[in-house]
Every structure is written in C-alpha cells, then in structure tokens.
Structure 1
Amino acid sequence: MNIFRRKKSSQGCIVVIGTHVEALSQALLPQAQSQKLALYQVSHSQQYNTLHHEALNQLTSVNANLIDPKAMVQLFKKIKQAGHVVELVVFQPATPIEIASTDLTPEYIQQRWQDIGLSAITIAQHAIKSMLPRQQGKFIALGSMHASEPDSGWLADGALQAGNRALFQSLAREFQPQGIQCCYMALSGWSTENMQTAQAIAQTCWHIYQQPRSAWSQELSLYR
C-alpha cells in the first residue's frame, strides 16, 4: 500500500522530526486529529538514506537519514505528492547529555554535531522551502537552556545548541517577512520516555502554532 498516495485535495499536516520523537508525536496526535491535520513522525536513522515508512495509528511513521539532503528532498516531495501541505514542523534533536569536558573526544563531538547541528540545518533548508510557495508555516526547534546559560558538564551540548539558537534567530529574521515563523524553544530538560513532559512540550508547540502573526514568538523558555 502506498501511504504517500496522492489525494484529491490538499490537507494540512504536522511533521515531528528528529531523534526519539515517538512520545512527542503521540502527544501532538490529539491536536492534529481535532484540526483534521495529517501527522508525520519522522525518526532519524542513518540506515536509511532514502525513506522507510509505514502507516501506524492514524499517523505516518517514517525513518530517514536527517543529515542526508537527498533524503530530506524526497521526504517533503512525498508529503506534497500525498496531497499534504506542511503547516507545522517540530524538530527534536538528540536529547542533551551531561559529560565532563575531560571526557570529550573528537568522535563524540562529530556525532553530536550531526545529531544536533547538521540535522537542524538540513531539515530547515527543506522544511522552509516547502512552506515558501504558500508563505505560511511554523518551524519550531526544541533546544536547551544551556544554549544561553552554559554550565559545567553541559559545555559541549551547550555550544551546539547555541549554534542552533543562532540559526533560528537568523531564520526568523529572514523568513518572518515571508510568512514563516521560526521559533527556538529552550527547555530546562526533557526525557523522550516521559509522556507528561512530552505533553507539556506539545501544548507549548500548539500554542505557538496558534499564535497570530502580530504576536509571533521567536524564542520561548519552558521549565519542567
């Protein structure tokens, strides 16, 4: 069965994309259903340079290599071919990890850069491109308080998150005049296994989605 099959009319959709996004996708599902929005759950997997997907519980589950530009081109192309227009993208990078500076290695930094920074850049390029023809859409990135408040043990992830924060500040300035809201959500911490936390994040994402243009937020902080 082709779950990306074209529909007769366009339907809005939410794309939850990143690492371990299952809990956040489930938390956003009731809002998507209430507004008749399709929901895509896109999980990072370096095993898939293209797409591996299946229909599951009224959402479309997709595995893709988020740092591969070709995979991102294919993802948003397939979403369009299915008759869906992207209204909201929520990017959840790899969960922050506390690690002593003395334990950092070049290999670790490289892997974390791919999971946090490079994936944000690759996704942003293609998500925003899909929104520009309609001059409408919301793009939210989950981030960390350590992006602006570095602390011992969190310096590596803090530096990478500071890069994402700066990226989203630039995206907001460039694309807000074109109808695209880009927002960085700084979190005090999150657990992909904690549904209560996922629901709080989902509620905040939905609040951003519903903001009128005159009240757009470019950055929010969420404490747990």
Structure 2
Amino acid sequence: MTQKCSAVIIGVGPEQGLGASLADFFSGKGLHVFIAGRSEDKLHKLTDKIGQSGGSATPVVADATVELEVAHLFSKVRLEGFCVDIAAYNVDSNIPSPLLKTDAETFTALWRQNCLGAFFFGKEAVKAMKDRQKGTLFFTGATASLRARPPFTAFASAKAGLRALAQGMAREFSPQGIHVVHTVIDGVIDGERARIRFPDYVKAKGKDGLLQLDAIAETYWAIHQQHPSAWSHELDLRPFKEPF
C-alpha cells in the first residue's frame, strides 16, 4: 500500500509568517501538511484557510523544546498513515541583549529554541525518512548563523549551533538519501512580526526591500525538487538591495 505524502512544519505562528507560508505552499503542491506550534488558535485558523483553498492540514500543538512533544508530532504523522517528504524546522526566537546584560536564563532559552529543538526535530524527521531513503529536511537559519554582532551574541551562538547541527546531519544522512538543507535568511522577512515591531524600517526598505514569504517558499520547494546528483546543502536568501 502506497503511503500518502506529507510535510511537517514546526514553528508555525501568524498567518503572515514563514511557517504558515510554507504550509500553505506545500499544501498547494498536493502534500498534506502537519503544522505545529504553541498557539492552538493560530494553528486552527491556518488549518481552516488551507482547507478553504482545497488543501488539507492537521494542527498539532507542540513546543519544539520539549522532546516528548516533538516525538508526539511525528507519531501522529505515522498513526495517520503518512510518510514525511518534507520536514521544516522554522523556530526563530530572538532577544536583543548586550552580553554583560545577558543572564544564563536568556542565553539558555535562546539555545533551547534555536538549537536544541532542532536536534529533537531533526532526529525524529530522519527516523521518519530513513526507511524510504528519501525526504528533505530544512533548518531555517539567519544572518547570525554566520556572524555574531551585538546585541545578538547569544542568538548568534544558538544559530551557529543550528548550522553545525545541519552540517553534521547532512554529512551523516545524505548518503542515505536524506537531503538536509540549511537556509540563511539574510534580511528581514515581510511578515506580521516586522510590520508590527518596526513599521518605519519596513517602509524605508521600499519595494522588494524585504524577503517575500511566497518567494522563500518557492525556493524551498525548488530545493526539495533538486536531483540528488546536484544537491544544495546551504543557501542564502536576501533582497537584491540588501548589503552583504
């Protein structure tokens, strides 16, 4: 019996956010999407939207930093008879904090959300994909994955850890047919978070000065479609006018 295909996305928040946009896009490509996050209301709202567009989704309330909850997410995928074609770790928690004002609680929280949760998610995704020797595992990174700048040193250390995790997993599991990808989002995403927190910055960037959600989702899908003889492990995405 052929299994139905699915995408599993954790870190799904507002409708105008990357997690939601990935879910909507993958659903439009015919995958059933399992969407996970901490806000039940947001998950159900997105599930309804996807259903109205002709797709299908299953909402799962889960905290990426709790190993049992991540395991439960993938257990639900198995119990509903789906294989995992795509898994995306999209948790991105950032707190600006000068180093001498950064306490252990803040430093550890950022590491748990941006790195430890990715470890839990990545392990479960690989377990779900290894028998078929097929699937794409995305880890969403940031500019800070490559360089640390104050007041985001704690965040950068966590994102650098995420990048190292992705590298190690790619080297270990690519020969088994699992495509592990680390994406560096080098710029600000044009979503709800940016428009609420720094509207003046959004306005100053002008047309196409921010990363567009659909454009990012299209790139993720294109990477998923790559032939195994020419896989990308790491790529960076930025607006054409963004300095780097």
CA contact (8 A) 2:12 2:19 kept: no
Q: Does 1:211 align with 2:210?
A: no
1:161-195, Cα deviation, whole Å (9 max, x unpaired)? 11110110000000000000111101123445269
1:111-160, Cα deviation, whole Å (9 max, x unpaired)? 11111111011111111110001000100111112222222222111111
Residue number among 85, 102, 105 corresponding to 1:104 in the alignment: 102
**Superposition deviation, residue 25 in structure 1:** 4.1
**1:56 matched residue in structure 2:** 48
**2:237 matched residue in structure 1:** 222
Q: Which moved more, 1:30-39 or 1:124-133?
A: 30-39
Q: Which moved more, 1:166-175 or 1:22-31?
A: 22-31
Q: Which moved more, 1:122-131 or 1:35-44?
A: 35-44
CA distance in structure 2 between the partners assigned to 1:34 and 1:107 by the alignment: 40
Mapping 1:117-196, distance limit 5 Å: 117-191=115-189, 192-193=191-192
Q: Which moved more, 1:106-115 or 1:92-101?
A: 92-101
Q: Residues 146, 25 of structure 1: CA spacing in aligned structure 2 closer, same or farther, 3 A cutoff?
A: closer
CA distance in structure 2 between the partners assigned to 1:21 and 1:85 by the alignment: 26
CA contact (8 A) 2:35 2:59 kept: yes
Which has more strand, going by share of residues?
1
Q: Does 1:13 align with 2:39?
A: no
Structure 2 letter corresponding to 1:197? Q
**Superposition deviation, residue 74 in structure 1:** 1.9
- Cα RMSD (Å) of the superposition? 2.4
**Superposition deviation, residue 37 in structure 1:** 0.8
**2:114 matched residue in structure 1:** 116
| Runs of 4+ with >6 A deviation | none
CA distance in structure 2 between the partners assigned to 1:203 and 1:16 by the alignment: 15
CA distance in structure 1 between the partners assigned to 2:98 and 2:19 by the alignment: 32
CA distance in structure 1 between the partners assigned to 2:114 and 2:20 by the alignment: 22
**Superposition deviation, residue 67 in structure 1:** 2.2
Q: Does 1:37 align with 2:52?
A: no
CA contact (8 A) 2:89 2:139 kept: yes
Between the two proteins, the alignment pairs up a number of residues equal to 211
CA distance in structure 2 between the partners assigned to 1:17 and 1:190 by the alignment: 20
Q: Residues 139, 27 of structure 1: CA spacing in aligned structure 2 closer, same or farther, 3 A cutoff?
A: same
TM superposition score normalised by structure 2: 0.78
Q: Residues 72, 171 of structure 1: CA spacing in aligned structure 2 closer, same or farther, 3 A cutoff?
A: same
1:180-216, Cα deviation, whole Å (9 max, x unpaired)? 0111101123445269632232122111111111111
Instruction: Specify the SS of the correspondent of 1:16.
Output: strand
CA contact (8 A) 2:88 2:139 kept: yes
CA distance in structure 2 between the partners assigned to 1:38 and 1:144 by the alignment: 27
CA distance in structure 1 between the partners assigned to 2:12 and 2:105 by the alignment: 19
CA distance in structure 1 between the partners assigned to 2:113 and 2:27 by the alignment: 30
CA distance in structure 1 between the partners assigned to 2:89 and 2:24 by the alignment: 19
Structure 1 letter corresponding to 2:171? R
CA distance in structure 1 between the partners assigned to 2:182 and 2:230 by the alignment: 15
Structure 1 letter corresponding to 2:130? L
